[in-house]
Amino acid sequence: MTNKTLCDLATFNNNRKPLYRKQGLQKFQKQMKKLLVLSIALLFSNLTISQTNLFEHPEFDEIAKNHKIIAVIPFKTSIELRPRQMKDITPKELEKMERSEGASIQSAMYSWFLKRKKRGTLSVNIQNTAATNAKLKKAGVSYENYETFTPAELAKILDVDSIIMGTFKTNKPMSEGASVALGLLIGFWGTTNAATINLSVYNAEDGELLVNYNKKVRGSVGTDNDDLINRVMRKASRRIAYTKN
């Protein structure tokens, strides 16, 4: 091999080194991006787990054996708007939206149980929300004052074996009526950024807490409350004796 050939090979190899280094850097960057995406996914997964709390009465299955009918009442709702959004809305308008949202959660919950009843996977009957609300109104129980009644008292008024109630907090309503009203008033049509639902099931006989499920969801949680309830009940139903089988 001549000296000229050796020089040419050396020059060729030297010219190739930057290319190898560039390709190696690009490969390394791709691997780091994949690791970053995986780390973020795991982080959000852990956050979701930490934001879910569930309690089940140790004797719920035994207590539920004698239950025939349950009822859902409107959820106490809090719509937490930003200060600049509150400037364009009155307290009465906000209260009306919260009441509408609470009724929507009640309706979505009733629909969820009714579907399971039709499928044969619900061991009890679910009282129609129209009957529930009519009985509450007749007894002088309203959305504004029902928290002054104990769960046992409410269950007695409704003549059911257990009662489902709770609270709902969001920074944007998801029920069609409340969401449209808010959009027209302040021009806020975005997706929900945060929502927390706290669901409780109480025994009618003694007012004992049978199940409590608290779940906080961040980001878009769906287009309506039916979607929210489906997501919440997906896990909660595993702990509710009426829907386990």
Q: Burial-class residue 155 by CB neighbours within 10 Å (0-12, 13-18, 19+).
A: buried
Sequence-separated (6 or more) residues with CB below 8 Å from residue 77: 98, 99, 101, 102, 105, 167, 168, 169, 170
Predicted confidence at residue 200, as pLDDT, reads: 96
Predicted confidence at residue 47, as pLDDT, reads: 38
**Domain end call among 50, 69, 88:** 50
What CATH number does the domain containing 78 carry?
3.40.50.10610
Residue 23 to residue 30: CA distance in whole angstroms:
11
**Same domain as 123, residue 24:** no
**Same domain as 68, residue 40:** no
Q: Burial-class residue 119 by CB neighbours within 10 Å (0-12, 13-18, 19+).
A: exposed
**Same domain as 88, residue 120:** yes
**Domain end call among 32, 50, 68:** 50
Please state the domain count of the chain: 2
CA distances, 1 to each of 5, 9, 62, 100 (Å): 6, 11, 92, 90
Predicted confidence at residue 180, as pLDDT, reads: 42
Residue 91 to residue 78: CA distance in whole angstroms:
12
**Same domain as 121, residue 216:** yes
**Same domain as 12, residue 105:** no
**Same domain as 174, residue 215:** yes
Q: What pLDDT digit, counting tens, does each position of 78-137 carry?
A: 988 777 666 777 888 888 889 988 999 999 999 999 999 999 999 999 999 999 999 999
The per-residue pLDDT of the chain, averaged, comes to 78
**Same domain as 21, residue 108:** no
**Same domain as 112, residue 208:** yes
**Same domain as 62, residue 34:** no
**Same domain as 63, residue 39:** no
In degrees and rounded to multiples of 5, residue 163 shows phi and psi of -130, 140
**Same domain as 69, residue 34:** no
| Contact indicator for 121, 83 with CB cutoff of 8 Å | no
**Same domain as 62, residue 182:** yes
Question: What's the domain range around 21?
Answer: 1-50
* Position 48 pLDDT exceeds 60: no
Q: What pLDDT digit, counting tens, does each position of 171-227 carry?
A: 876 544 444 444 444 344 455 567 889 999 999 999 999 999 998 876 554 457 788
For the entire predicted model, the pTM comes to 0.71
Q: Which amino acid is at 232?
A: V
